[in-house]
Structure 1
């Protein structure tokens, strides 16, 4: 057993949130370990990341790394937080909830195109650091004030985050297969003539092909993000419709919707009586 701290989540929080000291000019430091680990994961994916390989990359022994970080899981958390420093400071500052949330989603997507291994991180118990929480805060603030109740603000942001991760999985799988085979995705599919010769028996697929549907395909991320945001916009509009006050049938003043029961037709008892007398006079 290297270090009991590797099993201590509270130590992981301290490691992520500690004030960073100035790095020494020489020797090993936590910052250098994290940067080397990111470079290694960028090149080989998360499956290629190990404490031993990081140590070799830095020219130190594996044991020397454990003086700075207790284990691989904690190192991955540090890596995730470090790459989020790359986010532009203006991300999520546009006008309107949709533009702000879209900007945040694109920033997260761009991070994953540069570091596909981010989408390989599995499990629900990876601790966030200050940069990760700041990113989440930007997304939450983008939707807050849109008209959604608090629980739906959180759900909408989590939905966008899961969409970005799901799309990034394609990048991960493509990169892994290209590393293993040495053949690019385009080259591999371009050589599948024996498959394409058998597809003319499927009329819908053939019709779409002949109509040019595959000539300029929609970009999956762009298409999917737009549809997710469309869905959130529809939810916001529906919530506004459901919470919009009605107007009094007698005087035209706003009438608040009751929490339960039948909707109110009049703003006051006086207007209700006036309406009653008016019906009697007819």
Structure 2
């Protein structure tokens, strides 16, 4: 391993954005190292990932891995980007829910991110705000941005909306990891553990709102937390988009009914386009 490369973010970028056009060579390769690391993390979580375990899975020594990747941090970056890649049988993401508009596209991409974290729960364990993105991660971010970019929101709001949705997905995935880790360590499911807390429930009748909701069955079949949260977040985004549209339109076009953008100066506009204005003049006739 070359001195200093383990902590060099620019070297991490070179690894992530490496040219993959060449044919793989026989023997140990960076792609094989990354795939083996993903398998270890899938089985044991990020806390169980080590260069030694990856090397053991491949049948090589740990030092052999360092010829391909300078350290564990860079390996985790490569793993994150690798699992975000598309396979040959996947539909093109640029065509996700095109008939459903921005909301359908954004929801589909959020669900894809959620399913990815369910397949690879360790993604929610990756720490830090300075993780290097690779081409697959940036491509996914580009698709999220493009889903919202045509809604009339300001550029800063587009970026904020995508960040909000991403943090919601990450938060749900973090909770899933915590539940799974606790169940694995204790050998008791979340439902069984809470079901055995009779000593706690016997003390809750002094709280009227909680007791009323309990009696009404509010805890019997809880909402799907991911779908409920995603729907609520998107409702808020939709309200913001509508507010921005209301702020930039006076009324509906007298010909086609589309929103009419406010003029910065001069008289208010009554038609959305020159074509609609000319159509209105023709309908009036010479005596209009």
Identify the TM-score tier after normalising by the shorter chain: 0.7 to 0.9
Match of 2:102 among 97, 103, 114: 97
Distance in 2 between residues matched to 1:143 and 1:266, nearest whole Å:
28
Structure-to-structure mapping, 1:1-282, within 5 angstroms: 3-20=3-20, 21-25=22-26, 27-86=27-86, 88-91=90-93, 93-94=96-97, 95=99, 96-245=101-250, 256-258=262-264
Which 10-residue stretch deviates more, 195-204 or 160-169?
195-204
Alpha-carbon contact 2:248-2:261 (below 8 Å) kept: no
In structure 2, the partner of 1:274 is none
* Structure 1 gap ranges (5+): 248-253, 268-282
How far has the Cα of 1:139 moved from its partner? 0.4
CA distance in 2, matches of 1:190, 1:226: 29
> CA contact under 8 A between 1:82 and 1:131: conserved in structure 2?
yes
For residue 85 of structure 1, give the secondary structure of its aligned residue in structure 2.
Answer: coil
Measured after TM superposition, the shift of residue 181 of structure 1 is: 1.6
Alpha-carbon distance, 1:108 to partner: 0.2
In structure 1, distance between residues paired with 2:60 and 2:151: 52
Deviation at 1:255, TM superposition (A): 7.9
CA RMSD, 1 decimal: 2.1
- The structural deviation recorded for 1:2 is 6.6
Tell me the TM-score normalized by structure 1.
0.85
Task: Report deviation, 1:257.
Answer: 4.6
Larger CA deviation: 189-198 vs 169-178: 189-198
Q: Secondary structure of 1:170's partner?
A: helix
Structure 2: give runs of 5+ residues left out of the alignment. 253-259, 270-288
Instruction: Determine if contact 1:2/1:66 at 8 Å carries over to the other structure.
Output: no
Q: So what's the TM-score if we normalise by structure 2? A: 0.83
Quick check: 98-107 or 183-192, which moved more?
183-192
Q: Which whole-Å CA distance do the structure 2 matches of 1:6 and 1:199 have between them?
A: 53
